[in-house]
Every structure is written in structure tokens, then in C-alpha cells.
Structure 1
Amino acid sequence: MSLLRRPPPDGTAPHEYNSKKKRKVAEIYQALNSDPIDVAALRRMAISEGGLLTDEIRCKVWPKLLNVKTDDLPPAPGKELREDNEDYQQVLLDVRRSLRRFPPGPSAAVPTGMPDEQREGLQEELIDIILQVLQRNPQLHYYQGYHDIVVTFLLVVGERLATALVEKLSTHHLRDFMDPTMDNTKHILNYLMPIIDQVNPELHDFMQSAEVGTIFALSWLITWFGHVLADFRHVVRLYDFFLACHPLMPIYFAAVIVLYREQEVLDCECDMASVHHLLSQIPQDLPYETLISRAGDLFVQFPPSELARKAAQQRVERTAASTFKDFELASAQQRPDAVLRQRFRDRLRVEERTKSFLTKPRTNRFVKLAVMGLTVALGAAALAVVKSALEWAPKFELQIFP
């Protein structure tokens, strides 16, 4: 069985959850009010369980994660951009088809739903944001699915701030998707199978035999899962995570979804049509927090520099990963990768202490109880991953830790 298959963690009592939420909110505002702002702490909050919790907090934190200044935002885009814009008709068609990405209208079940005129107004704003970003950055090319990302920012932070955030995102994290061709997008998809191979060779070989390829994950990648997830809460939770991390993190998250569904895949007929159909239908009840945690761990265990050697096309220097140094903040402690690595180091230290505890001479019964306690705390799969990580940790430290 794959190391990535385990049930989601047990639920938390309401009073305990509220207490944890209050503490996290306090930590977020403490980081925001620091001088200078503690971006590393904000990244940790965005990655950790629950993410940034509310849209009000996202309005304050997302600009910090993208290093966008909010005190001098450009004016809201106007309708004049639509004239003679070569992308306008395609953008219009895509936005008109995006009704499901907006809150539903009033109904007997939800009488406070979004009125039709408000939804139509947001669609007009969505068109204007996209056209302004394209007009200001002629090197960028519109692709179908881009609007799924832009609408998420629009719904969370409003038109003016969304325009600034999307422009920064488009010139960094999404840059490869906005090339004239899909060459770099295909290259990023080529990272998917090496990740799966590192964790579960059996699953990798089955998918290779089925010749399923990676196109099933294309819409996941280029929309940051916004197009395929029905619940907006799950979408913004993933955006918290992706904004706090390296631009290639969405492909790691795609890999953990496939790994999580290992048994379903192996139970399929080993042919392209069957496996593609299964994988392209993404489940809506995924254990998101568990998968987010595992994606972060896999990024540290198998960084892009290692996977590039296994990717089918060796053009990593031309992808968003190469522009990431331009995007990093001045302090090394604020870099997204540093936050992930520190998080992983903390897990290793916990495991080392536990390993030392378990190796002391004790009765079998006591050792069994200790193992059971650790399994409850970390999950059997997490324990197995961390134990295996200990074997390569010294070599890994020399390779990528600054």
C-alpha cells in the first residue's frame, strides 16, 4: 500500500477548534503588525492546518505573500480596454460560461443567495481585470482556464486588489501557462510521473503501462484546481497554500491526489481510456489538510532540481522555477522553500526524539503502547514517511539546505 493512503484526521471538538482558531488569528495579526512584517510567519500560517481562515484575513495576507504594495493600487480597469482587443471574444465566452464559479442566486433553500445583477456585475469586472493584465503585459498570452484563477481573486479581494495580485501572479507563478505555446506547461506536467515513481513505483508502472499520460491533470494545474473543485472553501484553502509556496507546488498536490487514489487506479482496467476517465473525475471529498501536508513533505524530499533529471524534457531553466529567485523576498528566512524545509526539519526532530525513546530497553507492552501513541499523533503513513526520510536526510541536507 502507498505511504500516502490514510484516512483523514479525526474531527476536533468545537470549543477546541474555536480556541485554536482564535490563537491562529492572533498570530496572523501579530505577524502583520510586526515591523518589518513577518512574512515567514504568514507563510507558515497559510501552509498550516486551516490556512488563512477568512477572506478578511486573505485580503491582508495575500498581498504580503506576493509582495504587492496595497497603498498605491492602480485604478479599476475600464471598459475601453475591450475595443480591438484580440482576446476579448474568447474571454467573453469563457466568463459567460463561468456562472458556477459564482455564488448561486436566491432560492427557497438559500434566500440570501447572490442576486443576478450582482453576479452579472462581477462577470463584467472579471472581463476587465483579465484584459487590463493582458494589455499591461503584452508578453502574456491568454489561455482558457485563466479566468478560473482570476475569479477566485475577484471574489476574495475585490476588483482593484485582484487586478494587482493577478498581474504579479501572471508574471511569476503562472508565467509558463501564458506562453504562446504549451511547451513549458507540458514540461511542468512531466514532473508528475517522477514524483509518483519516487513514492509508489507500482502505481507509476501501472500508469505507464496504461499509457495514460498526464493530460488528465492539465485543468488542475492551469486553474490551481479552481475549475474542478465545486466548494469554494476548498479552492481558497489551496490558494493559501500555493501562494505561500514554490510555483511548482500545484504539481506536487496533483501527485498526492493520484497517490491517495492508488487503490482505485490499480483496480481499473489497465488501459488509457479507463485510467484517464477515473483520474479526470476528481473526488470532491478529499482530505485536503492531509494532502496539503503531504505535498509539502514531498516537495522537500524530492525538490524540483532532483526531479528535473527524470522529467522527459530538460528545459527547467525556462520554467517559472527559474524566475522564482526574482520573486523571493530579501530575507532568506522569508523564502517559501525555507518555511517548508524548517517545517520538515521540525518533523524530523520529533521523529528522532521518538526513535531514541523507542530504542531504550522496555517491556514489549510498553513499546507497543508508545508506537500506538505515535501512530495516533502522526498517522501511520506519516510515521513511515518520516522514518524513511531519516535514511537520506544527511545527504539531502548537504544538497539543498542553505
Structure 2
Amino acid sequence: MEPGLGGLDGSTGLEPPPKEKTAWESEKFQAVEEACKWRDLDKLRKLAESEGGFLADELRQQAWPILLGLGPDVPTPADSWNELPRHQDEDQVQLDVDRAFVYYPKDQTSTQLEIQKAQLSSLIISILRTYPYLHYFQGYHDISQVLLLVLPARLLPTALARLSILRIRDFMLPKLDPAIAQLRLIPDILRGADPKLYRHLSGTEPFFALSGTLTMYAHDITTLGEISRLFDVLLAREPVFSVYMFATIVISRRAELFEVEEDEPEMLHSILSKLPKPLDLDRLIAEAVSLMERHPPEGLRAWKGISSASVLKTARDVNACCMQTLEDGERWFGQQSREILWQRRMRAARGLVWKHRRPMGMAGLAVLVGLVAMLARRETGMGVTGWLAAILARWVR
């Protein structure tokens, strides 16, 4: 194994000795290796969905980079990021890294733990300094930790950069609006798949799924084996699959949820915000695949509200996503950032218009609405609220 980032081995170093493979495991090992050899994304996806996923880290070290679009020759990472300007979110990174490696790997000495934390901190900061437009979010360290414990060190910066910019970009924008928009798909999925459960949860906002979907479940699943197996399919499938995965988990708990009255949304939210234990991942993955086939995202009402620059749409085709460049991702990042600004200005403008609707009368209101639509699209130092305040001052004098 190659030396890891910061001098640490890329493996945990604490794994039990390999046991003899069964005939089924040997056959699947061979199938994964063959798919990796030919970089067969469709075959890798089917293998990731099937029982056990990629089975072992030695196979994941071959398969995950391919699924993330890494070429066969990845250059050795340089330390030049150390010389780049400090990123605004580095203090929060350190706070989160200090809380990392709580559940796995097991039986580390304090020295080993500190070395791994330093490695994780360097990995995250190298991404943020190299791509300073990205915004760190709490839970990003959980995702990064999984990659760090599985992949060879020389692949980590490139793998995490592509994951960040092309697969979880929606969560690294200035605001979490696109992440919330993703959650709005869950009620639509439930409406089609289980109308009775949908009605039962209709008073509960889908924010219960934020931690799971935001962190690719890495914050909520506490064993390395389980989260690595889930990453197999999350990397092999398109990003929207993560949303279907959570909807499947909700449906799997319908009996438990019906024990709580629908007029107790706080209790329902409390139940749904924690993943059930144990998780039958193979069964849940198979059901999520079926759920997505029966109720594809294009048929959901909330899908229309998803930005065309969202990863849910730009990475809808995993094969195409593997061919995308980081420059493509930066361009979509800019588009989404502008959309967020415009949407927030429009919400502020609508609120201001509604507040002053009586003094203006209907005719004045119609004119002002037109001005709002025009001005909200303009970049001005005053901002839309300042423009509206100036206009309203004229109307109400």
C-alpha cells in the first residue's frame, strides 16, 4: 500500500486477516475485477446494486476511482496547496475533524488517531484551497473520512475533488436551498409509491432526511463496512438515488410510523431523523432500485423545481458524469449561485410588495410587480430591497 497523505498508510492497518472466499465471493471478485479492467460502468453499477456490493476494499480501490471518472494515470498529489490562501471555512473544518473517527476504525492508539485527523484535515483543506469557490458544510468531513479510509492516498485529492464538484456540488453552494429542494422529492415519491403513508406524513416536512442525504449517510451509519457498502451503490448510481434510498427507508418503517398519530409531526420527525438499526442494506438498495424504476424523478412534480445546473440533472447519466470536467462543475456552480441569489431577492421582493399592497392599490401593485421582476435580475450595489424601498417611498408619499 502506498504511503497516505501526510505520511499515513491509506488503509486502516487494523483489518482482520482475510478469510478464505466462498465460491460465490470468488466469482463476484472476478466479475468486479473484470468490469474494472474494461472500465465497464454499467456492469459496475449492477455489481454495486447486487448483494454485498464490491465486497472488499481491495476491489473498491479499483472500482470507486473509475466510478468517479478518474483516468488510469492519476498524477501524484503535490503539496503546493499549502501555499494557497487560507479558505474562509478552515476553522469549522478543524472543529469537525477534531470529532472525526469516533466509531471507526477501532482500537487505535492516540498517536494513530492524531495522525489520521491530521491527514483528514490536510485532505479537506487541500480541496477547499484548490477550489476556493466551494463552501464547506458540516458532514463533509464524514464523507471525506470514508474515502480516506478506503482509497490509496495518491488518489484521494482527485477523487474527493470530483466527488465534491460533480456529485455533491449542491451541498457546497453558498446556501443550502438546493439541498432542501432535493428533499422536496421525497413526499412526491411517497405520494406515488404509498399514498396512505404519504397522507400520514403530510404534516411533516422532509427535513428529517437532510443529515442522511447531505452526508451520503456517512454521518448516520456508524460501521465502516456498512457505509463502504452503501458508498458502492451511491457512487455507481446517479446522485438522485440517495433521495430514493431515504424514501425507501421511510417506506420500510411504515408500521412503526402508523403507530404515531399524524397530528404529532414532531414525534414523526424524531423517528425519521434517525436511521433504523440494524440496516438491511442489500434489501433496501434492491427496493430503492425498484422504487426509482417505478417512479422515476422526471415524473415527480418537485423535479420541475430542481435547477438544470443541479447535480441531480447534470449527473442524471452516470456515464456522462464520468466524462465531465471540473471546469464543467465550476460553471454549473456559478449558475446555481446566481439562481439562489435571484430566488432570494424575489422572495424578499414579494414580501415587501405584499406588505405595502394596501397603500399602492391594484394599479400601483401591478406596476411594482413588473419592476420587481426586472430589478431582481439586476446586479446592483443597492440590492433589490433598496430599489424597492426607493420605489415604495414614491408610491406612499
From 226, 237, 253, give the equivalent of 1:234: 226
Compute the displacement of 1:302 (Å): 1.4
Q: Return the letter of the residue paired with 1:241.
A: V
Compute the displacement of 1:80 (Å): 2.6
Compute the displacement of 1:322 (Å): 2.6
Q: Return the letter of the residue paired with 1:72.
A: V
Q: Does the 8 Å contact 1:82/1:131 carry over to 2?
A: no
Counterpart in the other structure of 1:290: 283
From 15, 24, 29, give the equivalent of 1:25: 29
Counterpart in the other structure of 1:260: 252
Compute the displacement of 1:70 (Å): 4.4
Q: Does the 8 Å contact 1:31/1:39 carry over to 2?
A: yes
Compute the displacement of 1:243 (Å): 0.6
Which stretch of the first structure deviates more once superposed, 128-137 or 149-158? Answer: 128-137
Counterpart in the other structure of 2:87: 85
Which stretch of the first structure deviates more once superposed, 242-251 or 92-101? Answer: 92-101
Compute the displacement of 1:132 (Å): 1.4
Counterpart in the other structure of 1:304: 297
Q: CA RMSD in A?
A: 2.4
Counterpart in the other structure of 1:162: 156
Counterpart in the other structure of 1:60: 62
Report the 3-state secondary structure (helix = DSSP H, G, I; strand = E; otherwise coil) of the residue aligned with 1:328.
helix
Distance in 1 between residues matched to 2:84 and 2:321, nearest whole Å: 38
Moved segments of 4+, more than 4 Å: 76-79, 329-332
Q: Return the letter of the residue paired with 2:285.
A: I
Q: Return the letter of the residue paired with 2:143.
A: I
Instruction: Evaluate the alpha carbon distance shift between residue 60 and residue 207 of structure 1 in structure 2; reply closer, same or farther with a 3 A threshold.
Output: same
Compute the displacement of 1:329 (Å): 4.2
Compute the displacement of 1:283 (Å): 1.4
1:93-145 superposed Cα distances (whole Å, 9 cap, x missing partner)? 011012314313xxxxxxxx222212211111111111111222223111111
1:274 has 2:267 as partner: yes
Per the normalisation by structure 1, the TM-score is: 0.71
Q: Return the letter of the residue paired with 1:137.
A: Y
Counterpart in the other structure of 1:378: none
Distance in 2 between residues matched to 1:29 and 1:155, nearest whole Å: 20
Counterpart in the other structure of 2:146: 152
1:359-393 superposed Cα distances (whole Å, 9 cap, x missing partner)? xxxxxxxxxxxxxxxxxxxxxxxxxxxxxxxxxxx
Counterpart in the other structure of 2:312: 321
1:285-309 superposed Cα distances (whole Å, 9 cap, x missing partner)? 12211110011111122111111x2
Compute the displacement of 1:269 (Å): 3.1
Counterpart in the other structure of 1:363: none
Compute the displacement of 1:240 (Å): 0.2
Distance in 2 between residues matched to 1:16 and 1:261, nearest whole Å: 36
Distance in 2 between residues matched to 1:205 and 1:81, nearest whole Å: 55
From 128, 132, 136, give the equivalent of 2:130: 136
Instruction: Evaluate the alpha carbon distance shift between residue 282 and residue 331 of structure 1 in structure 2; reply closer, same or farther with a 3 A threshold.
Output: closer
Count of residue correspondences = 304
Counterpart in the other structure of 1:51: 53
Q: Percent identity?
A: 32
Instruction: Evaluate the alpha carbon distance shift between residue 115 and residue 77 of structure 1 in structure 2; reply closer, same or farther with a 3 A threshold.
Output: farther
Distance in 2 between residues matched to 1:297 and 1:222, nearest whole Å: 22
Compute the displacement of 1:39 (Å): 2.6
Q: For structure 1, which runs of at least 5 residues remain unmatched after alignment? A: 1-14, 105-112, 333-402
Distance in 1 between residues matched to 2:306 and 2:134, nearest whole Å: 19
Q: Does the 8 Å contact 1:74/1:164 carry over to 2?
A: no
Per the normalisation by structure 2, the TM-score is: 0.72
Q: Does the 8 Å contact 2:213/2:242 carry over to 1?
A: yes
Q: Return the letter of the residue paired with 1:153.
A: L
Instruction: Evaluate the alpha carbon distance shift between residue 131 and residue 284 of structure 1 in structure 2; reply closer, same or farther with a 3 A threshold.
Output: same
From 184, 190, 195, give the equivalent of 2:189: 195
Q: Does the 8 Å contact 2:135/2:174 carry over to 1?
A: yes
1:165-219 superposed Cα distances (whole Å, 9 cap, x missing partner)? 11101111101011101111010011111111111111111111xx221111100
Q: For structure 2, which runs of at least 5 residues remain unmatched after alignment? A: 1-18, 324-397
Matches for 1:209-224 after TM superposition, within 5 Å: 211-224=203-216
Counterpart in the other structure of 1:42: 44
Counterpart in the other structure of 1:116: 110
